[in-house]
Amino acid sequence: MQQVYFDNAATTQIRDEVIDAMTRVMKANYGNPSSSHSFGRSSKALIEKSRKAVAHYLNVSASEIIFTSGGTEADNLILLSAVRDLKVTHIITSKIEHHAVLHTIDQLVKDYKIAVSYVDLKPNGNIDYLHLETLLKNESKTLVSLMHINNEIGNVLDLKRVATLCKVNNALFHSDTVQSVGHFKMDLQDVQVDFITAAAHKFHGPKGIGFVFVRKNSALKPLIFGGEQERGLRAGTESVHNIVGLETALKSAYDNLDNEVAYIKDLKQYFINKIETELANATFNGKSGNMEKSTYTLVNVCLPIAPQKAAMLLFQLDLKGIACSKGSACQSGSNQNSHVLAEILTAEALQKPSIRFSFSFYNTKEEVDYVVDVLKAFID
């Protein structure tokens, strides 16, 4: 049976050079980075080298990069500290954010009685920038939290436009950039976002490691207490091999970015063409079928299948060796449909199965042919 992995938005295959780098560190650099002896100092030096490398790719200072266990912890750190320590009383977000943001905000409403405003969405899933501007006309201390690349439908937020709106209205701006770091060039001197988050396993690095960018003088406070690691913002002994793995993955991503983007774009366009040619009445959700207005890494397809048969689709694809998803991997096992699609699709469209296919440079056109053939046979 052929094996096809089209779920790269959930997690990615680790690059060989990342595994090699991590293995070397685990063998040779096992000292505690907080220890003062040479074993500890060598581990600490690797962490600081990695911090400088991450900062370089984002055009920020090394002191503004804090390593975390991943994007979820990073989002929690920013949102909780903004309310608890920066005295934010109003959060503006959207109903199609990742649950790491939405569920955290729900808890903050319970614990701190903050006000939450949800920016209007257009039928294609893009936010209404004029409505955002209206919501920002508020006397409260405000934080805007909007993701750069939507992880389910691939829509792209105009980061610079939102950052400018926030600055004009004295609001803080946090963006979940888990789907964009390592896939798009980012200059945070040009885009004045206050906080961003990232996870290494989304750009061919290890799981369990990510980072948050915290702009200088933000006065953010820790979420995890203990030692003074990570500038006092994230206590706990650092995972040196994972941090080096993140650095190596990010370096490889940006060193190869132009070639890999061109390759994956061509693959996505090929996939779109095959779907349009072979599967009559299939449609693309959000802007994911538009090569110019969505990320190049994924498509979300609504398939013309009756509800009774649709329930078996993912199971049948798995039997054929095809890995894909109906939405965020964090919802796997839930009986609920995608909260993102529920906000933008009609009731009739929601009755049909929607599948997210997400790509990497490891994928091939032959795999696309196989997947489309399987889908066609299932629909027929």
Q: What are 132-172's pLDDT values in tens digits?
A: 999 999 889 999 999 999 999 999 999 999 999 999 999 99
Q: What are 348-367's pLDDT values in tens digits?
A: 899 899 999 999 999 999 99
**Residue 327: its pLDDT value, please?**
64
Asked if residue 242 lies in contact with residue 48, where contact means CB atoms within 8 angstroms, the answer is: no
- d(Cα 356, Cα 349) in Å, to the nearest integer? 15
Are 39 and 124 contained in the same domain?
A: yes
In percent, how much of the chain has pLDDT > 90? 87
For the residues of 78-129, what is the DSSP string, one character each?
Answer: HHHHHHHTS---EEEE-TTS-HHHHHHHHHHHHHH--EEEE--B-TTS-B-H
**Residue 306: its pLDDT value, please?**
84
Q: Looking at 239, 255, 271, which one is the last position of a domain?
A: 255
CATH number, domain of 251, equals: 3.40.640.10
Q: Looking at 212, 236, 255, which one is the last position of a domain?
A: 255
Residue 250 pLDDT more than 60? yes
Q: Looking at 255, 284, 304, which one is the last position of a domain?
A: 255
Torsion of CA 244, 250, 255, 261, to 10 degrees: 150
Average pLDDT value for the chain: 95
Q: How many distinct helices (H) and strands (E) make up the chain? A: 13, 12
Are 330 and 365 contained in the same domain?
A: yes
What is the band of 245 on the pLDDT scale with cuts at 50, 70, 90?
A: very high
The DSSP element (H or E) to which 301 belongs, if any, is strand 298-302
Torsion of CA 109, 111, 112, 118, to 10 degrees: -10
Q: What is the mean pLDDT of residues 95-119?
A: 98
Q: Which amino acid is at 226?
A: G
Kindly provide the b/e burial profile for residues 72-89, where b requires at least 16 CB atoms within 10 angstroms of the residue's own CB.
bbbbbbbbbbbbeebebe
Instruction: Identify the sign of the CA torsion 99, 104, 107, 108.
Output: negative
| Residue among 166, 302, 324, 330 flagged as catalytic | 330
- d(Cα 257, Cα 194) in Å, to the nearest integer? 25
Among the residue ranges 94-103, 284-293, 335-344, 357-366, the one predicted with the least confidence is 335-344
Task: Show the tokens assigned to 297.
Answer: 């890494």
Domains identified in the chain, total number: 2
Residue 330 pLDDT more than 70? no
Are 69 and 191 contained in the same domain?
A: yes
Are 193 and 139 contained in the same domain?
A: yes
The DSSP element (H or E) to which 278 belongs, if any, is helix 257-278
Are 241 and 279 contained in the same domain?
A: no
Give all strands of the β-sheet with 142-145 in edge-to-edge order.
Answer: 65-68, 210-214, 195-199, 172-176, 142-145, 90-93, 115-118
Are 42 and 159 contained in the same domain?
A: yes
- d(Cα 149, Cα 154) in Å, to the nearest integer? 6
Are 229 and 274 contained in the same domain?
A: no
Are 87 and 188 contained in the same domain?
A: yes
Are 123 and 166 contained in the same domain?
A: yes
More reliable by pLDDT, 132 or 235: 132
**Residue 336: its pLDDT value, please?**
61
Residue 293 pLDDT more than 80? yes
Closest CA to 337 of 318, 323, 320, 356: 356
- 171 burial level (CB within 10 Å; 0-12, 13-18, 19+): buried
**Residue 235: its pLDDT value, please?**
86
Can you give the pTM of this predicted structure?
0.94
Q: What are 165-203's pLDDT values in tens digits?
A: 999 999 999 999 999 999 999 999 999 999 999 999 999
Are 82 and 144 contained in the same domain?
A: yes
Are 281 and 237 contained in the same domain?
A: no
Q: What are 55-105's pLDDT values in tens digits?
A: 999 999 999 999 999 999 999 999 999 999 999 999 999 999 999 999 999
Q: Which residue range forms the structural domain that includes residue 51?
A: 16-255
Q: What is the mean pLDDT of residues 262-288?
A: 97
- 294 burial level (CB within 10 Å; 0-12, 13-18, 19+): buried
CATH number, domain of 331, equals: 3.90.1150.10
Q: What is the mean pLDDT of residues 232-260?
A: 96
Which residues, in sequence order, are CB contacts of 20 under 8 Å at separation 6+? none
Query: Does the active-site annotation cover 330?
Result: yes
**Residue 335: its pLDDT value, please?**
46
- d(Cα 196, Cα 78) in Å, to the nearest integer? 9
Residue 334 pLDDT more than 50? no
Are 231 and 211 contained in the same domain?
A: yes
